[in-house]
Amino acid sequence: MLSKMQGLTPIDPPRTVRIRFRKVGKLQYISHLDLQRTMQHCIKRSGIPAWYTKGFNPHYKLVFALPLPVGAESECELLDLRIDREISDAEILRRFNETVTDELRGLEAYTPTTKFADIAWAEYAVTLTGTAVTDGMAAEAERILTTSPLMMVKRSKSGEREVDLVPMIRSVRAEGGAGELTLRLVLSAAGADYLNPELVVTALRERLWAGVEHPDTLSWRILREQVYCADGQTTFR
């Protein structure tokens, strides 16, 4: 939106800004590819002075950290974009939030000092609810997720292979009783070792409730809450 960019001083070279945003509720059903496309339109209508690639098919250079699987929600999605006019981080966040619904709201905008490649771990809150959840399952879930080998078929770019999930699970804390079970998981998010939380839920379902499929008796919610650096302690920013 050129009208919103009038009066902004050009900066060369462009600077990078990182936006942390949520992707919750109905937005959990939108694939990463569709999110990328959606963000192009959002940034365009927002009037954020984002830098364009100058090629045959001009578009914004948007870089996302850790694609979120469909069906999972998040409070810590990260997006890097480049800005070619002077504008404050607060104003970027304000403009961003004018163009999205609350389920995709921007939470902060800042100048990053890290690279997405530094992300090593991600923390998830997984809630399983329904009549299929019974007393004593918390301890059983912890035992399953910490007892090696926990073999599952993992899909990646290079194909499918059976792997032990336990080394990719940094910590597991489970609580709750009949009707609801909450798991706090810290899973690997480092490159090829990235562990999809949905796969962990599948591993649990196959072991805790072999054969249960009916949606009335079991449903689950996955929420990514935080991402960490290699030490598993330092919050990635």
Partner 1 sequence: MNQQIASILKSVSKPGRYSGGEYGETVKDKGNIKCRWAFCFPDTYEIGMSNLGVRILYGALNREEDVWCERVYAPWVDMEEKMRAGKIPLWAHESGDAVSDFDVVAFTLQYEMCYTNVLMMLDLAGIPLTAAERGEDDPIIIGGGPCAYNAEPLADFFDVFSIGEGEEALVEFARLYIEMKENGTYTRSAFLHAAAKLPGFYVPSLYTVTYRDDGTVEAYTPVYDDIPAKVTKRIIADMDKAYFPEQVVMPYIETVQDRIMLEVYRGCIRGCRFCQAGMIYRPVREKTPEVLDKQARDLFACTGYDEISLTSLSISDYTELEELTDRLLSWTEGETVNLALPSLRVDSFTKALMERISTVRTGSLTFAPEAGTQRLRDVINKNVLEEDLMRAVKVAFEAGKTQVKLYFMMGLPTETNEDLAGIAELAEKVVEVYYANPNRNKGKHPQVTISVACFIPKPFTPFQWEAQDTMEMLKEKQAYLSSCIKNRHVRYNYHDARTSHIEAVLARGDRRLGAALLEACRRGFHFDAWEEHFDYDRWMALFADCGIDPAFYANRAWGLDEVLPWEIIDCGVKREFFLRERERAYAGSTTPNCRQACSACGANQLGGERTCCPKCKA
Write down the least CB distance from residue 181 to partner 1, Å.
16
C-alpha distances in Å from residue 216, one per residue of 58, 99, 219: 47, 36, 7
Select from 7, 4, 66, 3 the least CA-distant residue to 35: 66
Does 103 participate in binding partner 1 (rule CB under 8 A)?
Answer: yes
Q: How far apart are CA 2 and CA 141, in angstroms?
A: 54
Does 2 participate in binding partner 1 (rule CB under 8 A)?
Answer: yes
Handedness of CA 146, 179, 26, 97 (dihedral sign): negative
Phi-psi region of 109 (alpha: psi -120 to 50; beta: other; left: phi over 0): beta
Does 29 participate in binding partner 1 (rule CB under 8 A)?
Answer: yes
> For 4, what's the count of Cα atoms within 13 Å in the CB-facing half-sphere?
16
Out of 7, 55, 211, 215, the residue judged to bind partner 1 by CB under 8 A: 215
Size of the site for partner 1 (CB under 8 A): 33
Out of 17, 19, 27, 183, the residue judged to bind partner 1 by CB under 8 A: 27
Out of 26, 61, 115, 143, the residue judged to bind partner 1 by CB under 8 A: 26
Does 31 participate in binding partner 1 (rule CB under 8 A)?
Answer: yes
Contact range with partner 1 by CB under 8 A, out of 33-41, 76-84, 106-114, 157-165? 33-41
Write down the least CB distance from residue 32 to partner 1, Å.
11
Write down the least CB distance from residue 150 to partner 1, Å.
22
**Could you give phi then psi for residue 14, rounded to 5 degrees?**
-60, 150
